[in-house]
Amino acid sequence: MVVVSMITFAIFFLVPRLAGQTPELMAARYVGPRARSDQYHEVAERLGFFDPIHVQYWHWLKAIFVGMEFNYGNGVEHCPAPCFGYSYLRSTPVWPDLLERVPVTASLAIGAAVIWVLFGVSTGVISALRRGSIFDRVSMGTALAGVSLPIFFTGLMTLVIFSYGHPFRITAPGSSYTPFTENPAEWAYDLILPWITLAFLFAAAYARLTRAGMLETMHEDFIRTARAKGLAERAVVLKHGLRAALTPIVTIFGLDLGLLLGGAVLTESTFSLPGLGKYAVDAVMRQDFPQVMGVTMFATFFIVVANLVVDILYAVVDPRVRVG
Amino acid sequence: MPMALGSEPITTSDTSPGRGSESIKGRSLGQIAWSRLRRDKAAVGGGVVVILLILVAIFAPLIVALLGHPPEEFHQELLDRTRGGIPTGTFGGMSRDFLFGLEPVSGRDLFSRVVYGARVSLLIAFLATLLSVVIGTVLGVIAGYFGGWVDSVIGRLIDLVLAFPLLLFAIVLVGVIPQSAFGLTGNGLRIAILVFIIGFFNWGYIARIIRGQALSLREREFIDAARSLGARGPYIIFREMLPNLAAPILVYSTLLIPTNILFEAGLSFLGVGIQPPTPSWGQTLATAVRFYNLPHYIFWPGMAIFITVLAFNLFGDGLRDALDPKTK
C-alpha cells in the first residue's frame, strides 16, 4: 500500500510539471481560448492551481474518497465520491467514463488470458517432456517468433487476412464491441481477432517459461521420489512436476493480467476497441490531464490488486509456502 | 560485433581471481563460451543479421543512394490520383526501382523509409539499453554487496519499477513533451526523451538479476581474500565483482535491446514516439493502418521490426546458453 501512495504521488507530481503547464495555461483549458488573460488568472485561482503542490495533492486525494464541490463561477457542481475531476474538453466527470470502459478491457483481457494459458502451458509441458522432438522444435521456434512479433503488426496482419481479404472473412472491418449481456455470440465474434492476437504473444512467452520450468523441476529429487513410489507418470507430471513449475507462471500471470486490465493499450488501439487503453491514448493525445490521471490511477490500482492476489495464490499453488 | 562481444569475457576472466583452475586447462570461460556460441547455428544466424542491421543503419544514406530514392522525395507521378493516391503497378508499385513499393498519398519510397527507420530504432534501443544497464548494474551491485537496509530499499525500488504500468506511463510522459527543451528541438528532443523514458523504466529486471549474482559473489572466497588484504568497498565492487558480472550483464543487455525496440515501435505506433517526417517503423505502421487494402505498406515495416527483434532474441538466447554452464 506504500507503493500505491508513492505511485499516486509520483504521477500527480510529475505529469503537470513535466508538461510545462503554468496555472494560467491549465485554466485556459477550462475556460476556452477566447477569454481575457485576467480571467484565466481568476479561474486558475478559483480552481486552486496556484496552491503549493502538497495542497493540490491533498485536494485531489480527498476528492477521490469523499467527492468534491467544483465552483466554475456559474453555480456549484457536486462531483460524487470516487471523483477524478472533470475532463477539460468534454467537461464530463472522469469516473463514469472509466467505468463504462471496464467491461471492454475486461472481456479482452480475460478472454485472451484463457486462451493463452491453455495453449501456452500445455505446449510448454509437452515440449519439456518430449525435449528435442519435432513438436518441441516447431513449437519453440514458433514461440520465439511469437515473442518477437510486435502486437500491432500481428493485429494488423490478422485484420488484413481475416477481415478485409474476402476468402477468410471473420469479422467486420474496424472491430466494434457488443456488450456480453446484449448478445454473447456477437460479443465473442467481435473479440475473436483481438483475443487471438493478444493470446499469441502471451502464449509464446508462457510456453517458453513453462518449458524451462518443467525441464528444471523434472530433474528434482521429489520427482524421483514420486516415480519411485510407483505413481502413474501422468500423476507425476501433473501433480508434482507441473505444480512446482507453475509457481513462477502464476506470478507472471497475475502481473500480466493486472497490467492488461489496466488497459491493453496496443491491442485496443490496433483494433479500435473502446477500452481503457484506447481511452488513455486518446486522453494523452488531447492532453486531457484529469482523464489521464484518472486512468493511470485506475490501472495502477489493478496492478496493485494483482500483486496482492498473486501473493495469496502462492500459498495455494506452491505447497512449500504456507501462510504463517 | 560478436567477435568483440565474445572476446570480452576472455580478458576479464583472465585478470579476475578465482578462475585459476580454468587457466590451467588453457581455456578461459570466454573461450569456452565462444566455441559454444559458434556451434549454435541459430545464434550465429541471429548475430549475422544483427551486424547486417547495424551496418544498414550506419550506411543508410549509401544504401538508399544505390538502391532507392531519398526518403523525403515525393513521387506523385507514380500514384493513381483517381483512386485516392494509391500507387500504380502491382503490389503497391514494387519494382526494381522501388524495392518495397511506394507509400500511398505521399509517394515516398518505402524501401528508403524502412532503411532509415533502422537508424532511429537501433539508436534509441541501444542508448536506452545502455542507460538501463548502467542504472540496473549500479543499483544491483550496491544492493547485493552492501545487503541490509540498503538492499531492502533498492529491492523495494526494483519491485516498484517492475510493477509499473510502463507503457501507460510512457505514453503519458512522451505525450506531454513540449516543442523544445534542454536546447533541443523536434525529433532530437523526442529521441533524447524516448531514450530517457525507456531506459529509466526498464532497469528493474537487470537490477534484480545483478543483485542476485552479487549476493552470491559476496560470499565467495576471492572476495574474502581481497577484503583480508585490506581492499575497500569500491575496489572490491569495481575490480573484483564487476568482471565476474560481465557475463550476465552482457546477456541481459542483449536481451533487453529487442524489448526496447518493440517499446519504441509501440510508442511510435501510438503516435507519441518519433514524429514525421523522420521515418520510424512503428510510425510507418501507424499510417499504414488506414491503407489496409495495400498489404505491402503494413508488411515491410512490420517485417523489419520482426526480423530485428527475432535476430536479437536468437543471438541473446545463444549468448545466454553459451555463457551459462548450467544450461545444455
Determine contact: B179 vs chain A, CB below 8 A: no
Residue A317 has pLDDT above 70, yes or no: no
- A156:B289 CB<8 A: yes
pLDDT of B12 reads 42
Point out the least confidently predicted range of A252-256, A259-263, B122-126, B244-248.
A259-263
pLDDT of A129 reads 82
Most distant pair of Cα atoms in chain B: their distance:
83
Question: Rg of chain A's alpha carbons, rounded to an integer?
Answer: 25
The count of other CB atoms within 10 Å of the CB of residue B24 is 8
Give A55's pLDDT tier (boundaries 50, 70, 90).
Answer: low
Alpha carbon B47 to its chain centroid, in Å, reads 13
Q: Strand, helix or coil at B26?
A: coil
Determine contact: B292 vs chain A, CB below 8 A: yes
Residues 6+ apart with CB under 8 A from B124: B191, B194, B195, B198, B260, B264
Q: Kind and range of the H or E element at B237?
A: none
A274 touches A281 (CB < 8 A): no
User: What's the pLDDT tens digit per position in A120-174?
Assistant: 888 888 888 888 788 888 888 888 888 888 888 888 777 777 765 555 555 554 4
From the candidates A4, A284, A297, A300, which should be mutated to test the interface with B, based on the most B CB atoms within 10 A? A284
In chain B, residues with a C-beta closer than 8 Å to the C-beta of A269 are 269-270
Q: What is the pTM of this model?
A: 0.78
- B269:A150 CB<8 A: yes
DSSP B30-61: HHHHHHHHHH-HHHHHHHHHHHHHHHHHHTHH
Q: Strand, helix or coil at A324?
A: coil
Residues 6+ apart with CB under 8 A from A161: A168
Kindly state the cell numbers that stand for A289: 490531464
- A263:B165 CB<8 A: yes
**Which residues face B87 on adjacent strands?**
B79
pLDDT of B8 reads 41
Distance (Å, whole) CA A22 – CA B301: 39
A10: closest CA among B202, B172, B270? B172
- B305:A150 CB<8 A: yes
**Residue pointed to by grid coordinates 508513492:** A6
Kindly state the cell numbers that stand for B3: 567477435
Distance (Å, whole) CA A144 – CA B314: 8
Please state the domain extents for chain A: 2-83, 95-323
B252 touches B202 (CB < 8 A): no
Residue B125 phi, psi (nearest 5): -65, -45
B250 touches B319 (CB < 8 A): yes
Kindly state the cell numbers that stand for A46: 478559483
Residue A79 phi, psi (nearest 5): -115, 110
Nearest chain B residue to A270 by CA distance is B289
pLDDT of A109 reads 84
DSSP A27-45: HHHHH-TTS-HHHHHHHHH
pLDDT of B16 reads 44
Q: What is the mean pLDDT of residues A253-268?
A: 77
Is B162 among the domain residues? yes
Residue A307 has pLDDT above 60, yes or no: yes
Q: How close, in Å, is residue A250 to chain B by CA atoms?
A: 15
A252: closest CA among A285, A293, A206? A206
User: What's the pLDDT tens digit per position in B236-283?
Assistant: 777 778 888 888 888 888 888 888 888 888 888 887 777 777 788 888
- B266:A266 CB<8 A: yes
Distance (Å, whole) CA B99 – CA B299: 13
Q: Strand, helix or coil at A68?
A: strand
A147: closest CA among B292, B115, B317? B317
pLDDT of B209 reads 85
B273 touches B283 (CB < 8 A): yes
The CA distances from residue A291 to A91, A92, A95, A106, B112, in Å, are: 10, 10, 9, 19, 39
In chain A, residues with a C-beta closer than 8 Å to the C-beta of B264 are none
Residue A186 has pLDDT above 80, yes or no: no
Is B48 among the domain residues? no
Q: Which of A149, A153, A164 sits opposite B292 (nearest CB)?
A: A164
Residues A106, B194, B290: CA angle, nearest 5 degrees: 60
Residues B146, B147, B148: CA angle, nearest 5 degrees: 120
B309 touches B262 (CB < 8 A): yes
Q: Which of B159, B162, B175 sits opposite A284 (nearest CB)?
A: B175
Determine contact: B153 vs chain A, CB below 8 A: no
From the candidates A5, A138, A152, which should be mutated to test the interface with B, based on the most B CB atoms within 10 A? A152
Number of domains in chain B: 1
Residues B219, B20, B235: CA angle, nearest 5 degrees: 50
Kindly state the cell numbers that stand for B149: 537496509
The count of other CB atoms within 10 Å of the CB of residue B183 is 7
pLDDT of B233 reads 75
Nearest chain A residue to B265 by CA distance is A150
Distance (Å, whole) CA A233 – CA A227: 7
Q: What is the mean pLDDT of residues A64-82?
A: 57
Residues 6+ apart with CB under 8 A from B213: B140, B144, B244, B245, B248
Give A224's pLDDT tier (boundaries 50, 70, 90).
Answer: confident
- A284:B171 CB<8 A: yes
SS3 content of chain A, % helix, strand, coil (to 5): 70, 5, 25
DSSP B58-122: HTHHHHHHHHS--TT---GGGEEGGGTSEESSGGGT-SSSSTT-B-TTT--BHHHHHHHHHHHHH
Terminal CA-to-CA distance of chain A, rounded, Å?
Answer: 20
Determine contact: A173 vs chain B, CB below 8 A: yes
pLDDT tens track, chain B, 328 positions:
344 443 444 444 444 444 444 445 566 667 777 777 777 777 788 888 888 888 887 877 777 777 666 666 666 666 666 666 666 666 555 666 666 666 666 667 777 788 888 888 888 889 999 999 999 999 988 888 887 888 888 888 887 777 666 777 777 777 666 655 565 666 677 788 888 888 888 888 888 888 888 888 887 888 788 888 877 777 777 777 888 888 888 888 888 888 888 888 888 888 777 777 778 888 888 877 777 667 777 788 888 888 888 888 888 888 887 776 554 4
Distance (Å, whole) CA A84 – CA A98: 10
Greatest mean pLDDT among A29-33, A37-41, B10-14, B25-29 lies in B25-29
DSSP B130-191: HHHHHHHHHHHHHHHHH-HHHHHHHHHHHHHHHTS-HHHHHHHHHHT--SEETTEEHHHHHH
In chain B, residues with a C-beta closer than 8 Å to the C-beta of A277 are 168
Q: What is A95-323's CATH superfamily?
A: MetI-like (1.10.3720.10)
Residues A30, A31, A35: CA angle, nearest 5 degrees: 155
pLDDT of A282 reads 80
- A280:B168 CB<8 A: yes
**Residue pointed to by grid coordinates 471496464:** A102
Q: How close, in Å, is residue A299 to chain B by CA atoms?
A: 7
Determine contact: A270 vs chain B, CB below 8 A: yes
- A144:B317 CB<8 A: yes
Residue A219 has pLDDT above 60, yes or no: yes
Nearest chain B residue to A279 by CA distance is B168
Q: Kind and range of the H or E element at B251?
A: helix B242-269
Is B7 among the domain residues? no
Distance (Å, whole) CA B199 – CA B256: 10
> b/e map of A82-113 (b: 16 or more CB within 10 Å)?
bbbbbbbeeeebbbebbeebeebbbbbbebbb
The count of other CB atoms within 10 Å of the CB of residue B65 is 12
In chain B, residues with a C-beta closer than 8 Å to the C-beta of A263 are 165, 168
Burial class (CB in 10 A: 0-12, 13-18, 19+), B238: exposed
- Pairing type for strands B180-181 and B86-87 reads unpaired
pLDDT of B167 reads 75
Q: How close, in Å, is residue A136 to chain B by CA atoms?
A: 15
- B258:A259 CB<8 A: no
Domain boundaries, position B63 = 59-327
pLDDT of A324 reads 43
Q: Strand, helix or coil at A184?
A: helix
Taking CB atoms and an 8 Å cut-off, how many pairs form between chains A and B? 123
Kindly state the cell numbers that stand for B262: 518493440
Nearest chain B residue to A153 by CA distance is B302
